[in-house]
Amino acid sequence: MPKPTKGARLGGSPTHERIILRNLTSQLIEHGRITTTETKARRVQPFAEKVLTKAKRGDLHARRLVLATLFEVKQVEGERVKAKDKLVKKLFDEIAPTLEGREGGYTRITKIGPRKGDNAPMAVIEIITEAVSPKAKPAKAEPKPEKAQAEKVEEPKADETKAEQADEAKADETVEETEESK
C-alpha cells in the first residue's frame, strides 16, 4: 500500500505536488533543461527518469503510459491535445533515441547560485544527450617489462664473458711472451 511522503510537500497538498512534478517534467522534455529550486529539481529527477525509461521502450503502450503519467485525462481537451501530442512525439522521436546506450542516469542536476530576492538555492536539471563513452579497462600488467629486465641481466653476463675471454686471451699471450723470453 502506498504511503504518503513524510515531511513538507511541494505546493502543500499531494495533488498539487503531483501537478508540479508533471509540469516540471513536461517542461524538461520540451526545453531539454530547466532552472528551478534545488528541492524541486531533486524531487522531479526520479519522476522524469521513469518517464524517460518508458520512452526508451518506444511502443504504443509506453506512449499511452507516458500520456497518462504526464497529463490527466480531463486535461487533454481541444487545443491542448495538439500541444501534448507534440510533446510526446518529441520525447519518443528525438529524445529517446539519444538515450539508447544509457542504462539509467538520463538527467543531471547542477547547482547554481542562490536566487536573488529570497536566496533560495537554485539548480539546473537537464537531460543528458551525449553518447556514453565506454570506460577504458585497465590493461593487465604485461610480462614484457620482466623479460626486459631478465634480458638486461643476461646481457651484462654475456659482455662479462666476452671480457673474461679477452682477458684470458691477453693472459695467455702474456704467458707465452714470458715463456719465450726465458
Residue 89 and residue 39 share a domain:
yes
| Number of neighbours of residue 96 by Cβ within 10 angstroms | 20
Percentage above 70 pLDDT, the chain: 66
Instruction: Return the ∠ at Cα 163 (arms to 157 and 167), rounded to 5°.
Output: 140
Per-residue pLDDT at 148 exceeds 60:
no
- pLDDT at residue number 2: 75
Residue 27 and residue 99 share a domain:
yes
Distance CA 34, CA 37 (A): 10
Per-residue pLDDT band at 162 (split at 50, 70, 90): low
Residue 94 and residue 37 share a domain:
yes
174-182 average pLDDT score? 63
Domain count, the chain: 2
Residue 150 and residue 117 share a domain:
no
- 38 and 82 Cβ atoms separated by less than 8 Å: no
Query: Do the bridges between strand 33-37 and strand 107-112 make them parallel or antiparallel, or are there none, so unpaired?
Result: unpaired
Distance CA 147, CA 67 (A): 64
The residues, any chain, with a CB within 8 Å of residue 104's CB and separated by 6 or more, are 49, 53
- 38 and 12 Cβ atoms separated by less than 8 Å: no
User: pLDDT, tens digit, for every residue of 70-127?
Assistant: 886 555 555 666 678 888 999 999 999 998 888 889 999 999 999 999 999 999 999 9
CA-based R_g, the chain, Å: 36
Residue 148 and residue 122 share a domain:
no
| Residue 89 belongs to some domain of the structure | yes
Q: Which domain holds residue 120?
A: 14-127
User: pLDDT, tens digit, for every residue of 41-58?
Assistant: 999 999 999 999 999 998
